[in-house]
Structure 1
Amino acid sequence: MPTDTGHWEIYVFAAGEGRGSTIDEDAGLDLNYGPIAGIQLTATLPTSFSHAPEEGWRSGSGDVELGVKYRFYHDEENGVSAAIFPRVILPTASHSPNEKARFLVPLWVGKDFAGGTSLFGGGGFTSNPGTGNRDFWQAGLAATQDLTRKLSIGAEITRQGAEVRGATSQTRVGVGSILQLSKHANLLFSGGPTWADHEVSYRFYAALGLNF
C-alpha cells in the first residue's frame, strides 16, 4: 500500500546475506513519501559492509535506489489492490561490480481477508546490464496474519533468476514479524534461508519504522 498522502514513512534498516563467516550487509535509510493519493516516492540510501575470513571487515557506500509506487487499482470494499513499483538502482556502491544502472519493473497484487489475514504476490523483470551480468525475472508470494492489534507475523517465498552468467536461479523462504511500538513507530524483523548454486545461505532484515 502506498504511503498516505502528505505523510512520510522512514525505515532505519539493516539487511544482509551470508554463508558461514562471509557476510554482505547494507544499513541505512529507506525514505517513502506520499505526494498524492495512490502514489509513493521512494529513496533507499545504504552504507555497505562486508566480511570475509581472508579480508576482515570493510565498508563503503551502497547502491542508491529510487522508485515510484503507483496503485492503479483499489477496491476497498473487497480488500483488493494492485500496484506497479518501478525502480532504478544506481551504481554508487564503493565495491559494487555493477558499472551501470539497473531497472526493476514489478507488479504486485494484494487481498485483505476478514480476521486480519492478508495475501499478496507478484513479480517483475530486472534489466541488469554490465560485464558478465544477465537480465532476470523474479516472483514472490507472501501472507501476513494479525495476532493482536500490535503484532503481526508473516511468511514469504520468492524465486529469482540468475543475476550473472554461469550462476543458477535462487529460491528464498522467510518468516518475519511487525511489532507496533506506538502510533508512529514499529519494529520489523525477517529472515530465512536462500538456496542457490547448490548451496544454502542465510539472509536477515531488521528495521525501525517511523511514520508521520
Structure 2
Amino acid sequence: MGRGGTLLTLAGRWRTLVVAGLLGTCLEAGPPFFTDDPEPVELHHMELYLSWMGARTPGGASGSLPLVEFNAGILPDTQFHLVAPLAYAKPAGEPVTRGYGDTEVGLKVRLLHETEVLPQVGIFPLVEVPTGSAERGLGAGHTQVYLPLWLQKSWGPWTSYGGYGWWRNPGEGQRNWHYLGWLLQRDLSARVTLGGELFRRSAATLDGVASSGFNVGAILNLSERDHILVSAGRNLSGDRESHVYLGYQMTLSLEAVWPPASGRGPARP
C-alpha cells in the first residue's frame, strides 16, 4: 500500500504523518513498494491483499493493520481499486489509537501497451475519502486526490517502472505535493522476485521538508493464487522515517466464480 514534517501540536504531528506518510504510501503503492506500475489487473481477474503497512519516526509510529486492498479488471486495460484500512497511531509516550482510516478509491487505465521499443504507459487517478478521524490521528480530515503517470519496460527477467505523481492536499497548514519514484526488479525464478526502488517526495505541509529514500523487497509466489510480499526501507534525507510492508495477496479469475456461457463471457449462475 504511504506514505511528514514536525508540527507544534501532537495532533498536528500525527495528521502530518498520516497525510505525507502512511496514507500517502497507500495511495502511491504498488505492493510491496511505494512506486506503482501502469499494468492493470487482467479483465475478469481480481486481486485481494491483506497486509500490514507501518512507519516509524522519532515521534512514534503509525500504520494500518490490517489494510485490505481489492483490485478487479472491470474493462479491457482498466482496473477498479479499493483500499479499506484499519489504522493505528502511537505517538512516543502516548497510548495507541486505533480505528477505521481513510478509504481509497481509484481506476488504473493503461494508455499504451509495451512494444520492443516503447514502454507501457498508464495513469492511476486516486481519491482518498476522509472516513478516518483526523482528531485521533487516523485520517487526513479532507479529501485528497492523487494524479500519477507510470511507465514500464521489461527485458528478459528484468522489469523497470516508475513515474511522477501530483497530490492535491487541501487543509490548514497543508500544501500540494509531488512524488517521483523508480524501481528495478528481477525474477530470480518462477517463485521469487527481488526489487529495489528510490523515491523523492516534496513537503506536504507548510513547515515540512522534502525527503528522499529507498525500499528493497521481495515477492514470493507460493502458487498461482497465493503470494507473499515484503519490503522495508527508510528515508535518506529529510525527516527520519523507516517503513515496512508485509502482505498476503490472493489472485483469482472471476471466470472461476462466473464461468463463461457459450463463449460469451462470464455469466452469473
TM range (shorter): over 0.9
1:18 aligns with 2:56: yes
2:187 alignment partner AA = D
Please point out which of 116, 120, 130 is paired with 1:91.
130
Report % sequence identity. 26
- Structure ID, larger Rg: 2
- Residue by residue, what CA displacement relative to the aligned partner does 1:185-207 show, whole Å, maximum 9, x if unpaired? 1000001012454x422000111
Alignment match, 2:154: 112
Name the SS of the counterpart of 1:194 in structure 2. strand
| Distance (Å, rounded) in 2 between the aligned partners of 1:188 and 1:41 | 21
Task: Name the amino acid aligned to 1:16.
Answer: G
Q: How many residues align?
A: 210
Match of 1:206 in 2: 246
Shift of 1:16: 1.1
> Structure 2 CA distance, aligned partners of 1:68 and 1:53?
37
SS of 2:209's partner is coil
**Aligned equivalents of 1:151, 1:195: Cα separation in 2:** 27
Structure 1 partner of 2:108: 69
* Cα contact 1:24–1:48 (8 A) shared by 2: yes
Q: Distance in 1 between matches of 2:193 and 2:219?
A: 5
1:177 is the counterpart of 2:215: no
Within 1, Cα distance between the matches of 2:139 and 2:81? 24
Structure with the bigger percentage of helix = 2
Q: Counterparts of 1:98 and 1:151 in 2: how far apart (Å)?
A: 36
2:61 and 2:49 map into 1 onto residues whose CA distance is 22
Given the alignment of the two structures, is residue 137 of structure 1 paired with residue 174 of structure 2, yes or no? Answer: no
- Offset, 1:117: 0.2
**1:24-51, Cα deviation, whole Å (9 max, x unpaired):** 0112211000011100000000010122
Decide whether the 8 Å contact of 2:44 with 2:73 is kept in 1: yes
Equivalence for 2:229: 188
Match of 1:5 among 15, 38, 43: 43
AA at the equivalent of 1:126:
W
Q: Which runs of 5+ in 1 are unaligned?
A: none
Q: Which amino acid aligns with 2:245?
A: Y
Distance in structure 2 (CA, Å) of the matches to 1:157 and 1:171: 8
Going by fraction, where is strand more abundant, 1 or 2? 1
Is the Cα contact below 8 Å between 1:4 and 1:34 reproduced in 2? yes
- Taking the aligned partners of 1:141 and 1:104, their CA distance within structure 2 comes to 17
Aligned partners of 1:139, 1:98: CA distance in 2, in Å? 21
The offset of 1:76, in angstroms, is 4.9
Match of 1:165 in 2: 206
TM-score scaled by structure 1? Answer: 0.94
Question: Which structure has more RCO (C-alpha within 8 Å, separation ≥ 6)?
Answer: 2
Scaled by the length of structure 2, the TM-score of the pair is 0.75
Partner AA of 2:167 in structure 1: T
Which range moves more in the overlay, 81-90 or 199-208? 199-208
Which 5+ residue runs of structure 2 have no aligned equivalent?
1-38, 253-269
